[in-house]
Structures are given as C-alpha cells and as structure tokens.
Amino acid sequence: MNGALSLLLLAGTLWFAMARPRGLPEAVFAVPAAGVALALGLTSPHEAGERVVQMLPTMGFLAAILLVSHLAAAEGVFTWLGAELAEICRGRQPRLLLLTFAAAAIVTAVLSLDATVVLLTPVVLATAAELKLTARPHVYACAHLANSASTLFPVSNLTNLLAFTASGLTFAGFTALMALPWLVTLAVELAAFAWFFRKDLREPPSTRQPEHRRAPVFTLIVLAVMLVGFATGQLVHVEPVWIAALTALVLAAKALAERKIRPWQVVTEASPMLVLFVLALAVVVEAVDEHVLGGLLRSLLPTTAGLPELLLAAAIAAVLANVVNNLPATLILLSVLGPHPNQGVLLAVLLGVNIGPNATYLGSLATLLWRRVVVRHGQHPPVSEFLKLGALTTPLSLAAATCALWLAR
C-alpha cells in the first residue's frame, strides 16, 4: 500500500508539472504531495529534512543561473547570437545546422539547458524564418542538445549539480572526465541529424541578407569571467553558487540601471516556484525510493566501473529517466548509489539521465518545455517524428558517450 501511494503521489506530481493546468506553477501540486507523503509516514521528517538541506546550495545555484540566463537575454546576447548564425551560415542549411549545434552546445554547457530551450530556440526559429529556410533540423537540435550537451560542466544541468557533490570531483576534474563523452555525443548527434534531415539540408541556399547586430561585449565578458570562476573557484574554496550569484548581481545592477528589467523580475526570473517544486519533488521521491524502486535498483546497478558495467548503469538510468522523468530518476539513483558511489558508475548514470531523455517527450521536463515553446511559435512537431529521431540518436550517442567515459577514466 505504501508503495502504491508513493507511486501515485509521484505520478500526480509529474503529470501536473507536465500539463501545468491553467498555467499554474509545478509547486502547487508538489508541495501538498510532499506534505501528504510526510503525513502518511511514507517518509520520515528527518530523512526528508536531510534531503532538503543537502539540496539547498544546489537550488541556490539553480535560481542564480536562471536569473543570469534571463539577464543575458535582456542584454541582447541571444538576439546577437541569432544574427551571427544568420550571417555566418550565408543562407546554407548544412552550415546553419552546424552553427546551431555549436551555439546550442555552448549555451547548454555554460547557461544550462533551460536557456537553450526557452531563450535560444525562439532565436533559432526567427533566424530560419528570416532566411526563409526550413526550421525543423535546427529546432530539433535545440531540443536534443538541451539534454545531450548538458554533460560537460557540473553547472550545465540540475542533474549534474545533484551528482557533483557525491562525485568527490573538482569542477575541473569533472569537466576533464566528461569532455570526451560530450564531444563524442555531439559528433554522433550531428551525423545522425545530417542523415535524418538530409532532404531539408539539400534546400537551395537563401539569398536574404540578415541584419547585423552589435555584440553585447560587457555581458559576454561577464559570462566568460563567470565560467572561469566556476573552473577556478574551488581552488580558493568558493562554491559555484556564489560565483553565479555575483554574476547575477552585476548583470542585474546594469539592467536595472538601464531600465531593461523591472525590480520584481529579479525575483520572478530566479524561479522560486521551480526551486520549491524541486525540493518538494525530492521528498516525494524519497518515499518512492524507500518503498518501491530502491531495492530493485540496488540489485541491478553495478558497483564496479568496467565497460560492460558502465553501459549497464547508463542504460538503467536512461530507461528510468523515460519512465519517471530524469529529475526524479536522478534523485532516486543518487539515493541508491549512496554518499560514496563508484565514480565511474555515477558518471555513467549521469550520461543516462542526460542523454536518455531524448528518446521520448516524457524523459525530461526541458523537452516538454521545448514543445510548449515551439507550439507557441507556430510549430507543431509530430510525436512520431520526435520518437523516430530519438530512436536513431539516443542509443548510439549514449553507447558512444559511455565508451568515451570508459576511455577517459
């Protein structure tokens, strides 16, 4: 009974987060669900409290980086980037796809996958429309790379942030291990996209001349300094959350002084309701882990880091992400792996929960958000096409990335 109730609460929480009835925040359902889990004794207040306290620095970073992404958009970083893509590609579809891959990979790695979905995707759509080119390959690239290109830095994805502390790695150490899998993933995805969208990529070049835009130099410098700070901060015992918060403070001060944003947006764009949702979800997941999935996953997950074991760990994580969504999957898997997991297995699991969600719409909240964004802009990608592309790219890129991780270690 406890297991069934735990799964019911998780299913309801995920459904509400995906459907967002009447546009209500995800936390509207998640917080009462967490309260029910505690009230029914599905998880203890002590365990739930420990999980929430453990996640608070991660949630602080999430709020700060979301605010940084919004402020970067307000300063024109994404519109400038779209103009650069249009100019450099010279109206050629294959070149625009390559540039979109590069832009989506960098934005995802530096500003997190949410920036790629919410801020870059509309820019890519506008760029393709301005050049009178088919947008399909480039829009799908934003969706896929929001997930699969989020493996490079600890700050690229909330799943990475959750696993980073348990990994025992420094920022530079994490990045060094994940760099080869990241590059291999991009190469495999690009090759698969070139084949899947081969008809679109044969379109005649566009002759339209895009508008030139000046680069937001100050903001680009601040973002570059932030990235250097992430890489070197731990050497002087400065956590990424403080570097992101300082970056947000600098950009917010400039934007407020120039009246590009309003004061209340500094709070709302930090997404406090999303932070509350993640914390409440963690409590619900604690109950599911205790009563349903924990024992099964402990018997399945390997404890050594040979190539077959890493492939198994990545596959399990990918399947779980597509069953319960990648954020709950990460929380469950981290709980199963414990406070001192095998480093290789942990990173393979991370590849699974980051690359695996490209297989289905349900695998990642970012993918669902991407679908909302493109529909709002008049695009209606067929579910069947998304699934076919996912079936082509996901197994190949996940297997290749896992092999690359094995080599990198």
pLDDT of 3 reads: 80
pLDDT of 290 reads: 78
pLDDT at 60 over 80: yes
Q: Are 85 and 99 in contact (CB under 8 A)?
A: yes
pLDDT at 198 over 80: yes
Across 12-41, average pLDDT: 86
**252-273 pLDDT tens trace:** 999 999 988 888 888 888 888 8
CA dihedral over 142, 144, 147, 150, signed as positive or negative: negative
pLDDT at 240 over 90: no
**129-156 pLDDT tens trace:** 888 889 999 999 999 999 999 999 988 8
Angle at which helices 217-232 and 45-74 cross, to 10°: 150
- pLDDT band per the 50, 70, 90 thresholds, residue 397: very high
Nearest to 321 by CA among 116, 9, 14: 14
- pLDDT band per the 50, 70, 90 thresholds, residue 124: very high
Across 181-200, average pLDDT: 96
Q: Are 145 and 116 in contact (CB under 8 A)?
A: yes
pLDDT of 211 reads: 78
pLDDT at 191 over 90: yes
% the chain with pLDDT above 90: 42
pLDDT of 29 reads: 92
pLDDT of 168 reads: 85
pLDDT of 306 reads: 92
- pLDDT band per the 50, 70, 90 thresholds, residue 44: confident
pLDDT at 292 over 80: no
This prediction's pTM? 0.85
Q: How many residues does the chain have?
A: 409
Determine which helix (DSSP H) or strand (DSSP E) holds 239, and give its type and residue range: none
CB atoms within 10 A of CB 183: 14
CB neighbour burial string for 295-329, b if at least 16 within 10 angstroms, e if fewer: eebeeebbeebeeebbbbbbbbbbebbbebbbbbb
pLDDT of 299 reads: 84
CA dihedral over 346, 351, 353, 359, signed as positive or negative: negative
CB atoms within 10 A of CB 263: 8
Across 113-128, average pLDDT: 89
Mean pLDDT of the chain: 89
